[in-house]
Amino acid sequence: MDDRTRSLRSLMIERSPPAGSSSRPRRWLLPAVGSLIALIVAGSGVVLWLGSPMLPAQAPAVAEPSPQIAQSDSTVQKSVAPAPGSTGSLIASGYVVARRKATIAAEVTGKVVDLLVDEGMVVQAGQVLARLDDVLADKDYALAQARAEASEAAVAAIAADLADAERILNRTQTLSGKNYATEADLTKAQARAGVLRAQLHQAEAQLAAARLEAQRYGEVLGKHRIRAPFAGVVVDRSAQPGEMISPLSAGGGFTRTGICTIVDMDSIEIEVDVNEASIGRLHAGTRVEAVLDAYPDWRIPGAVIAIVPTANREKATVKVRVGMDVKDARILPDMAIKVTFLDDGAPTTARSDSP
């Protein structure tokens, strides 16, 4: 047997286990080898992790917009950003208000007999809105008129007596000059005329007082008819027939003070609060475009009426009054509205896209 043959035999694997060996040691050898390999792999991973620099956690990658989209976004932002000295992008929110708005109340205490108005009714200046129970007021007025008439009669009677006394005085003076009347007769005639003059003066004063009293009772009677102070629209009716009305509120809550509320629709305008940092960009006459929240497609042209010369310290805003070029029944008080202040040269024409 040569050396090559011995070398080949040494490489051969014996199929039968050598004598005296058992299979139990090989059973635990395989798990042990597997555990050792796992530990080696885990240790290698720890070493690699400790050796690498720690990086901050990053958010999931987001696809970047294409150049065209990015360019479009930048264009939109340029149109919104205000240019230096421009007021086109200044927007303020506010409300529709009425400069003339009044809660109509009674000037006298009384019970409502007739209520002649309702919500939404158009009334004219001086129109009777309600009538109070005026039975007692009417009697007081009639009594005052009677006293005034009695005073007039007293004045007429005293005036007639005075005229007669003055004729007697004149005749007595003539007779006294011719020595046909005594000094006593002249003195008596003068005294009677003087007394009647004083009585006439007193009666005339009483007549004037009686006439003023009758006039006062007449005005009180007239106040039992509540009238509209100006033309407008009734927006609220707060009283009902049979209720007590008084100019002063009763503590128990059984007496009302107001009959209804009237708004002059011709006095409607807009009030907005503008940040005081932007108020320098506005002035009286600045053109605006207003949009009601109720009609978002309706553009209402207008202009700044005035900038109220006071600021709100808490909100750091200044109130601005804005007038509207359009008068429309859809524009109601207390409606929310947004106002865009335009450049001085921007055209503002009424849009035809009203709802």
Residue 4 CB-density burial (10 A; 0-12 exposed, 13-18 middle, 19+ buried)? exposed
* pLDDT reported for residue 102: 93
Quick one: tokens of 23?
Answer: 């299979």
Query: Tens digit of pLDDT for each residue in 26-68?
Result: 555 555 556 666 666 565 554 444 444 444 444 444 444 443 4
The tens digit of pLDDT for each residue in 102-124 reads 999 989 999 999 999 999 999 99
Average pLDDT of the residues in 277-293: 93
On whether the CB atoms of residues 151 and 206 are closer than 8 A, the answer is yes
For the chain, domain boundaries = 84-98+266-341, 101-133+230-263, 135-222
Higher per-residue confidence, 270 vs 251? 270
CB 153 within 8 A of CB 247: no
How much is the pTM?
A: 0.59
State the DSSP H helix or E strand holding residue 157, giving kind and residue range, or none if neither.
helix 135-177
Instruction: Count the neighbouring beta carbons within 10 Å of the beta carbon of residue 214.
Output: 21
Residues 6+ apart with CB under 8 A from 319: 271, 272, 273, 274, 307, 308, 310, 312
CA angle 255, 256, 258 (to 5 degrees): 160
> Which residues have CB under 8 Å from 207's CB, separation 6+?
148, 151, 152, 154, 155
Q: What is the pLDDT of residue 185?
A: 86
pLDDT tens-digit readout, 206-227: 999 999 999 999 999 999 999 9
**Domain over 84-98+266-341 is classified CATH 3.40.640.10:** no
In this predicted structure, the answer to whether residue 5 has a pLDDT above a threshold of 80 is no
Residue 275, pLDDT above cutoff 60: yes
Give the span between the Cα atoms of 78 and 91, in whole angstroms.
16
pLDDT for 353:
45
Over pLDDT 70: what percentage of the chain? 70
Same fold, 84-98+266-341 and 101-133+230-263: no
Inform me whether the pLDDT recorded for 294 exceeds 60: yes
Whose CA is closest to 230, among 329, 126, 128?
Answer: 126
Pick the CATH number of 101-133+230-263 from 2.40.50.100, 2.60.40.1180, 3.30.210.10, 2.60.200.20: 2.40.50.100
Residue 86, pLDDT score? 44
pLDDT of the residue at 177 = 82
User: Residue 2: is its pLDDT beyond 90?
Assistant: no
How many Cβ atoms from other residues are within 10 Å of residue 76's Cβ?
9
- pLDDT at residue number 154: 95
- The 10s digit of each residue's pLDDT in 227-253 is 999 999 999 998 899 999 888 765 445
Q: Give me the pLDDT at residue 141, please.
A: 96
What was the pLDDT predicted at 224? 94
**CA dist., res. 285 & res. 168, Å (int):** 82
pLDDT per residue as tens digits for the range 78-105: 333 344 444 446 999 999 999 999 999 9
